[in-house]
Amino acid sequence: MNIALDMMGGDFAPDEAVKGAMAYLSEASDPAHLLLIGDETRVQALIQQYPLKPGYFTIIHASQVIDMHEHPTKALKEKQHSSIAIGFHLLATGKADAFISAGNTGAMLVGALYSIKPIEGISRPTIGAYMPRENGKLGLLLDAGINADCKPENLNQFAILGSLFVKHVWNIDNPSVALLNIGEEEGKGNLLAQATFPLLKQNELIHFIGNIEGRDIFLDKADVIVCEGFTGNIILKMAESIFDIIKRRNIHDSYFDRFEFEQYGGVPVLGVNKPVIIGHGISHGPSFKNMILLAIKIIETELIEKIRKSFKAQ
Amino acid sequence: MNIALDMMGGDFAPDEAVKGAMAYLSEASDPAHLLLIGDETRVQALIQQYPLKPGYFTIIHASQVIDMHEHPTKALKEKQHSSIAIGFHLLATGKADAFISAGNTGAMLVGALYSIKPIEGISRPTIGAYMPRENGKLGLLLDAGINADCKPENLNQFAILGSLFVKHVWNIDNPSVALLNIGEEEGKGNLLAQATFPLLKQNELIHFIGNIEGRDIFLDKADVIVCEGFTGNIILKMAESIFDIIKRRNIHDSYFDRFEFEQYGGVPVLGVNKPVIIGHGISHGPSFKNMILLAIKIIETELIEKIRKSFKAQ
């Protein structure tokens, strides 16, 4: 198993990516092979400082970096020697089994959509956001911002993708799915929610429990919450800002500590043909380690194959 | 000045409404006259317990109550002797200068839209939600849930309504207006946000500062934040749930205490021809007092007349 890791992505690259790789390799009993994509000189130098278990990694030189604020499509096209472009090339050619980056999110999405491509039958791949609950569990909210305008059918597909992820990767049997709405009864909400409800209700691939409201997001009401990416992104950013405020005000609370989304590593792009994990720009070592573990879990559980089968059966 | 108060609205009616009236009348140096609409016997009995300054109130008997979960339009039509129906009758006939209720929100909105009617030129009246900022200020987010689907022109009108309210009632000169979006640059966002941006930019009645994101809602970036009511309602309910969690976890913090939305009293229905204030169902005495004060401020600042002039000039 080969996991490609973009060493140049994120605010603290490549140092934190190296630290994450070191932590993973030293803790895993039978580690996967890591393909470390980045500036060879810099990565080599860092490995002196943070030694990696020998024999379990290969450095793949990338002479370019796509910066956080570059235009995704343009940058990917023009910077063929960037770590992100190389990562997708390795993934597309089968040399890597998963690709992880905390770099330019847009470029990661464009790469996932255009080089790895959506699974047949899926019109809109999605990324989610983890919503912590007081009982220690997590909910998966999707879409978290890549699909700002959605059709009912998109939300219906997000529901299936989210359910399969939560079931296989989080080991939750028969995960519950709710539609985020502004009212509990069927028929409530905006036109999109009204039209989505019957689709979810009829969808035999999911366990739909109905509408939930904004007040229910942090309660353990549904394992999977679906909404369009505009609302989803506002929710995610708002939750992140709550964590910032909690920290700024010096509040120490074990629940609100779990609003530090960095700790979860990253989120998978669900609905594309290979495992692609996107990390937060501020990712540190533990996040990179967690993203490697998530990529391995997705590969080992054959999530992508299971998604493919679900959509083929429809 | 006559302020009509629904004594039967809210979870703790009529007790808390009487307490609020008592607090208002005892604290005001030159109080307005209150029209207390509700079950006369019950209200009279409560006044023994919570005495009201004599000569400053009139009890107006209402033999019916619209419950919190009744269908608004149906209930208003069938219960002509309900406190809400009577309140709107008093308002429409000029016997009251403002109407306040913490009762069935839907019935209050239907009453406002159909008996008081929107101001000419306003296609969608709106209600907002107060977003507390760490510096002690408040932001006004609107729409907070009554207009689930909006056109760009609706958001543009919300921006004007919000600006006028904040300017006159909160005394903030040249209030800043932002468009809630999922990206900062012009051109970002869903189709609605993309189409709304240029309207706001060209609107000479407002001080538009551009897009803000979910992370900025609790920062003091804009006095007025506009969005459609679906997202707005999710934000409001999510903020309310944060307060619930803060309380449940026994966190004591002066900033998060301001997430208890009850303390603000209620929100005005902006864009209708008379002052209508809707309170939270869980309103207690201080909320009712604050709603009376808000109604008076709206009357004294001639907000409705100023809104009317702004929309006439367009």
| Residue B136 belongs to a domain | yes
Per-residue confidence at A263, pLDDT binned at 50, 70, 90?
Answer: confident
Cα separation, B100 vs B275, whole angstroms: 8
The partner residue sitting opposite B214, judged by closest CB among A213, A219, A238, is A238
Question: Does the beta-carbon distance from A238 to B235 stay under 8 Å?
Answer: yes
| CATH code for the domain of A78 | 3.40.718.10
Question: Does the beta-carbon distance from A238 to B219 stay under 8 Å?
Answer: no
H or E element that contains A122: none
Cα Rg of chain B, angstroms: 19
Residues A130 and A258 in one domain: yes
Question: Does the beta-carbon distance from A149 to B214 stay under 8 Å?
Answer: no
DSSP labels for chain B?
A: -EEEEETT-STTTTHHHHHHHHHHHHH-SSPPEEEEEE-HHHHHHHHHHSPPPTTSEEEEE--B---TTS-HHHHHHH-TTBHHHHHHHHHHTTS-SEEEE-S-HHHHHHHIIIII-BPTT-S--EEEEEEE-TTS-EEEEE--SS-SS--HHHHHHHHHHHHHHHHHHS--SS-EEEEE-SSSSTT-SSHHHHHHHHHHHH-TTSEEEEEE-GGGTTTTT-SEEE--HHHHHHHHHHHHHHHHHHHHTT---HHHHTT-GGGG-EEEEETBSS-EEEE-TT--HHHHHHHHHHHHHHHHTTHHHHHHHHHHH-
Contacts of A158 (CB under 8 A, 6+ apart): A124, A126, A142, A143, A226, A270
In chain A, the residue whose alpha carbon lies closest to the alpha carbon of B227 is A231
Helix/strand/coil percentages in chain A, nearest 5: 45, 20, 35
Residues A185 and A248 in one domain: yes
| Residue A306 belongs to a domain | no
Question: Does the beta-carbon distance from A230 to B182 stay under 8 Å?
Answer: yes
Cα separation, B309 vs B33, whole angstroms: 28
CA-CA distances (angstroms) from residue A132 to A138, A290, B199, B307?
Answer: 5, 17, 38, 43
Residues B193 and B293 in one domain: no
| Residue B265 belongs to a domain | no
In chain A, the residue whose alpha carbon lies closest to the alpha carbon of B255 is A249
Q: Which residues of chain B have pLDDT under 50?
A: none
Q: What per-residue confidence (pLDDT) applies to A314? A: 63
Burial (CB count <10 Å: 0-12, 13-18, 19+), residue A9: buried
Question: Does the beta-carbon distance from A244 to B215 stay under 8 Å?
Answer: yes
Asked if B45 reaches chain A (Cβ–Cβ under 8 Å), the answer is no
In sequence order, the β-bridge partners of residue B200 are none
Question: Does the beta-carbon distance from A145 to B189 stay under 8 Å?
Answer: no
Residues A156 and A208 in one domain: yes
Residues B139 and B251 in one domain: yes
In sequence order, the β-bridge partners of residue B272 are B118
The partner residue sitting opposite B190, judged by closest CB among A149, A182, A191, is A149
Contacts of A124 (CB under 8 A, 6+ apart): A118, A143, A147, A150, A154, A157, A158, A271
Burial (CB count <10 Å: 0-12, 13-18, 19+), residue B210: middle
Asked if A180 reaches chain B (Cβ–Cβ under 8 Å), the answer is yes
Q: Which of B143, B191, B219, B242 to mutate to test the interface with A (most CBs of A within 10 A)?
A: B242
Which residues 85-114 on chain B approach chain A with CB closer than 8 angstroms? none
| Residue A312 belongs to a domain | no
Residues A145 and A195 in one domain: yes
Q: Which of A143, A190, A256 to mutate to test the interface with B (most CBs of B within 10 A)?
A: A190
Cα separation, B132 vs A113, whole angstroms: 40
Q: For the whole model, what pTM was predicted? A: 0.95
Residues B253 and B135 in one domain: yes
pLDDT tens-place string over residues A7-40: 999 999 999 999 999 999 999 999 999 999 999 9
Higher pLDDT, B281 or A300: A300
Question: Does the beta-carbon distance from B237 to A145 stay under 8 Å?
Answer: no
Asked if A252 reaches chain B (Cβ–Cβ under 8 Å), the answer is no
**Residues of chain B contacting residue A249, judged by C-beta atoms under 8 Å apart:** 134, 253, 255-256
In chain A, the residue whose alpha carbon lies closest to the alpha carbon of B232 is A231
Q: Which of B124, B147, B234 to mutate to test the interface with A (most CBs of A within 10 A)?
A: B234
Residues B139 and B241 in one domain: yes
pLDDT tens-place string over residues A181-227: 999 999 999 999 999 999 999 999 999 999 999 999 999 999 999 99
Does the pLDDT of residue A297 top 80, yes or no?
Answer: yes
**Residues of chain A contacting residue B213, judged by C-beta atoms under 8 Å apart:** 233-234, 237
Q: What per-residue confidence (pLDDT) applies to B26? A: 97
Residues A32 and A87 in one domain: yes
Question: Does the beta-carbon distance from B245 to A134 stay under 8 Å?
Answer: yes
Q: Which domain holds residue A57?
A: 1-122+271-301
Cα-to-chain-centroid distance, residue A7: 17
pLDDT tens-place string over residues A130-143: 999 999 999 999 99
In sequence order, the β-bridge partners of residue B207 are B176
Q: Do the Cβ atoms of B67 and B104 come closer than 8 Å?
A: yes
pLDDT tens-place string over residues B292-304: 999 999 999 999 9
Contacts of B14 (CB under 8 A, 6+ apart): B7, B8, B38, B39, B42, B43, B46
Cα separation, A201 vs B146, whole angstroms: 25
| Residue A36 belongs to a domain | yes
Residues B7 and B99 in one domain: yes
The partner residue sitting opposite B235, judged by closest CB among A214, A218, A219, is A214
How many distinct structural domains can be found in chain B? Answer: 2
Asked if B225 reaches chain A (Cβ–Cβ under 8 Å), the answer is no
| Residue A307 belongs to a domain | no
Termini Cα distance of chain A = 31
In sequence order, the β-bridge partners of residue A4 are A35, A99
Q: What is the mean pLDDT of residues A142-146?
A: 95
H or E element that contains A140: strand A138-142
Asked if A313 reaches chain B (Cβ–Cβ under 8 Å), the answer is no
| Residue B198 belongs to a domain | yes
The partner residue sitting opposite B134, judged by closest CB among A182, A191, A245, is A245
Which residue in A215, A111, A226 sits closest to A177, CA to CA?
A226
Residues A57 and A70 in one domain: yes
Per-residue confidence at A281, pLDDT binned at 50, 70, 90?
Answer: confident
Residues B222 and B136 in one domain: yes
Question: Does the beta-carbon distance from A236 to B230 stay under 8 Å?
Answer: no
Question: Does the beta-carbon distance from B214 to A230 stay under 8 Å?
Answer: no
| Residue B278 belongs to a domain | yes
The half-sphere exposure of B130 on its side-chain side, counting CA atoms within 13 A, is 22
**Residues of chain B contacting residue A241, judged by C-beta atoms under 8 Å apart:** 214-219
Helix spans in chain A (H):
15-27, 40-49, 72-78, 83-92, 105-111, 152-169, 191-202, 229-248, 254-257, 285-300, 303-313
Query: How many interchain CB pairs under 8 A, A with B?
Result: 117
Q: Which of A134, A155, A238 to mutate to test the interface with B (most CBs of B within 10 A)?
A: A238
Asked if A244 reaches chain B (Cβ–Cβ under 8 Å), the answer is yes
Question: Does the beta-carbon distance from A190 to B218 stay under 8 Å?
Answer: no
pLDDT tens-place string over residues A73-128: 999 999 999 999 999 999 999 999 999 999 999 999 999 999 999 999 999 999 99
Which residue shows structure tokens 């006028």? B164
Asked if B217 reaches chain A (Cβ–Cβ under 8 Å), the answer is yes
ipTM of this predicted structure: 0.94
Which residue shows structure tokens 């999922």? B182
Q: What per-residue confidence (pLDDT) applies to A121? A: 96
Distance from CA of A246 to the nearest CA of B (A): 9
Q: Do the Cβ atoms of A276 and B276 come closer than 8 Å?
A: no
Asked if A127 reaches chain B (Cβ–Cβ under 8 Å), the answer is no
